C-alpha cells in the first residue's frame, strides 16, 4: 500500500489464462464493490478476448465490464502490485516472477468458458462463477491474508 498524499488503496492484479472471464469478472466486481480500498487490474498469460457471456452475466448483476479488454500480463509491467491473485492453475504455473511484485495468492475458480449444454445450463455456469467471484471480492482485502482454502 502506498502512503502519503495518495489514497491508501491496495493494488491488485487478477490473473487467469485468457483474461476472458474470471479475471475480468473479478476486476469488475472489485471496481464496483471495493474501489475505495482496491485498485483493480486484470490480465492473462495468453490473452484472447472478453467473453460475451461474461459481459452479459455481469450486466445482469449491474456491473458493466464491456469497456474492459483482454491484455497480457506484460502490459502491466511497471505497476507495483500489492497482490497478484491467480484465478486458475495454468496462470499460477505460468505467472512471471518479478521481484518486489507483491504477494502471490492462488484462488482458483472453474472456467465457465468450458461449460457445455443448453443455453440455460451454460448461463447457469457463468452465473455460478460470477457469484462465487463476487463472494470472494466482497471479503477483500481482508481475506487475502488468510491461507488458501483446501
Active-site option among 54, 84, 88, 137: 88
C-alpha cell at 54: 461474461
Number of helical H runs and strand E runs in the chain: 4, 4
Q: Give dist(CA 126, CA 110) in Å, integer.
A: 10
**Catalytic option among 12, 15, 16, 140:** 16
Residue 95 is a catalytic residue:
yes
Check if the beta carbon of residue 9 is closer than 8 Å to that of residue 38.
yes
88 is catalytic: yes
Dist. CA 72–CA 47, nearest whole Å? 6
Count of residues making up the chain: 150
Cell numbers describing residue 52: 460475451
Q: One of 10, 73, 85, 95 is an active-site residue; which one?
A: 95
Catalytic site positions: 16, 88, 95
Amino acid at each position: 500500500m502506498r502512503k502519503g498524499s495518495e489514497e491508501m488503496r491496495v493494488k491488485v492484479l487478477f490473473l487467469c489464462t485468457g483474461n476472458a472471464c474470471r479475471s475480468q469478472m473479478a476486476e469488475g466486481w472489485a471496481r464496483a464493490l471495493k474501489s475505495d480500498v482496491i485498485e483493480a487490474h486484470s490480465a492473462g498469460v495468453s490473452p484472447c478476448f472478453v467473453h460475451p457471456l461474461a459481459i452479459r452475466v455481469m450486466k445482469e448483476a449491474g456491473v458493466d465490464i464491456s469497456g474492459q479488454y483482454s491484455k497480457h500480463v506484460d502490459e502491466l509491467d511497471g505497476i507495483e502490485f500489492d497482490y497478484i491473485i491467480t484465478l486458475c492453475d495454468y496462470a499460477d504455473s505460468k505467472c512471471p516472477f518479478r521481484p518486489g511484485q507483491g504477494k502471490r495468492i492462488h484462488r482458483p475458480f472453474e472456467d465457465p468458458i468450458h461449460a457445455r449444454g443448453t443455453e440455460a445450463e451454460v448461463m447457469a455456469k457463468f452465473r455460478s462463477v460470477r457469484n462465487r467471484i463476487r463472494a470472494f471480492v466482497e471479503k477483500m482485502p481482508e481475506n487475502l491474508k488468510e491461507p488458501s482454502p483446501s
